[in-house]
Structures are given as C-alpha cells and as structure tokens.
Structure 1
Amino acid sequence: MTAYALAHLRKAPIHADVLEYLERIQATLTPFEGRFIVHGGIIDVLEGDWPGDVVIIEFPDLANARSWYRSGAYQEIKTLRTRHLAGEVILVAGVGADHSSSQMAAGLRQAHGL
C-alpha cells in the first residue's frame, strides 16, 4: 500500500542550510523509491488557517517511508531543515483504489452500534 511523508513547514527566511538540505534530499529518497508529489506550490486555503508550505513525498509502502526517515543519510541532513524551519512531519499509509468512504462509515456504524 502506498505511503506518504507529509510535512507542514512554516515559512521562514531562506538559509544556506535549507538550500543544502534541498540539494541533498533527493539522494536520500532514491534508495527507498521516494518521490516528491507536492513540494511547496500554491495553497488554496478553503477552511481554517494554513501558515506555511506543504511537502508530500510518495513511497511504495510504509516500510520504505519509515526506513527512509530513519536512514543514516536522511538523519545526516535533517538538522539542516529543523534548525531553520518549524513544522510537523508525519508518515501515513494511503488507501487502495477500491477504498470507499461509505463502506468505511458502514463498518464504523456497525462497530460502534450506531
């Protein structure tokens, strides 16, 4: 099942460390089949507040996503980002092509007696 690394990063002044991070991150992703599917870009906020940028990296599965994040190569460059950009980073499993929110709701109704 496809998995994603999602980062919500607050805007900050450009710093040389962040530029180095950007220059080096792809090499850490390649061994784990990671690829950017969102990397900054225009954000159209429809509800609430969203200060900052969005980054989404796709992996073939959660195991590869976890292995990338924990890898020595990524850990070596991570502080180049974290020292200058505040934000949250999560790993999340995707859903299959056959996912149905109505079937999910039916299962939740049954499980919770609703």
Structure 2
Amino acid sequence: MAAAYALAHLRRAPINAEVLEYLERIESTLTPFGGRFIVHGGAVEVLEGSWPGDVIIIEFPDLAGARSWYHSSAYQEIKPLRARHLTGEVILVEGVEADHDSVQMAAELRRAGSR
C-alpha cells in the first residue's frame, strides 16, 4: 500500500491568535491517523512559474487514513481557525510504491494509447 499525502499551498497572511491556536492543536489531530509533517512552510525555491505562499505536506500511511484525518471531527473543529485567515489549495494525493518505475509507466501508457 502506498503512502498518501495531504498537500496545502497556503498564501501568506499575518499570523494571529487563531492561526497560532490551529498550529498548537493540529499535531494531536494527526496522531490517531499516523500523520506526520514532512514539509511545514520551509523555504521554497521557485524554478518555474510562480509560487506565492507556503507548502505544507503531511504524510499518512495510506489514502484512507489521510481522508479519515481530514474529515475527522477533531480536524474539522480546528479547520476554521486556519481557513478564516490562510487561503489556498488543499489536496490529498496518493504516493507511489517504492518500486515505482516511470519507464514502465510510459510503456503502459504507450500501449493504452495505441488501442
């Protein structure tokens, strides 16, 4: 089973009491679902296009766990503390297995396209 990720691209905004409370409480919402931060607002080096804001990536054991965390009552309770002040996109995405092979993927896509 592949790991999954909650990825957020949030626009910068002034930090306030609600955002600080959100930061103080989010960790405890992740633990029951095996979630952990792997990127949390670190430096971004833009190589193509533009990227206004910060990146947050939370890893989960699988997509079902990521989905369960996001929809959990614990997270839904604190989500407005962030959403009222930090706008942006939030997605869940499934990762690849350790043996992922992009050459094999291309071959499969070629075969599928020739049908």
Gaps of 5+ in 2: none
| SS of alignment partner, residue 44 of structure 1 | coil
- The equivalent of 2:21 in structure 1 is 20
Amino acid at match of 1:111: A
Matches within 5 A, 1:1-114: 1-113=2-114
SS at match of 1:88: strand
Q: Counterparts of 1:113 and 1:65 in 2: how far apart (Å)?
A: 35
Deviation at 1:102, TM superposition (A): 1.0
Other structure's SS at 2:6 match: strand
Displacement, 1:113? 1.2
* C-alpha distance in 2 between matches for 1:17 and 1:105: 46
For residue 16 of structure 1, what is the amino acid of its counterpart?
Answer: A
The residue type paired with residue 50 of structure 1 is W
Please give the secondary structure, in 2, of the residue aligned with 1:4: strand
Aligned with 1:99: secondary structure?
A: coil
Equivalents in 1 of 2:22, 2:59: separation in Å? 18
Instruction: In structure 1, give the amino acid aligned to 2:37.
Output: F
Q: Matched residue of 1:77: which SS?
A: helix
Following the alignment from structure 1 to structure 2, what is the Cα–Cα distance between the partners of residues 11 and 105?
37
Runs of 4+ in structure 1 off by over 2 angstroms are none
Task: For residue 32 of structure 1, report the CA deviation from its aligned partner.
Answer: 0.3
| Pairwise CA distance, 1:15 | 1.3
Separation in 2, partners of 1:100, 1:15: 44
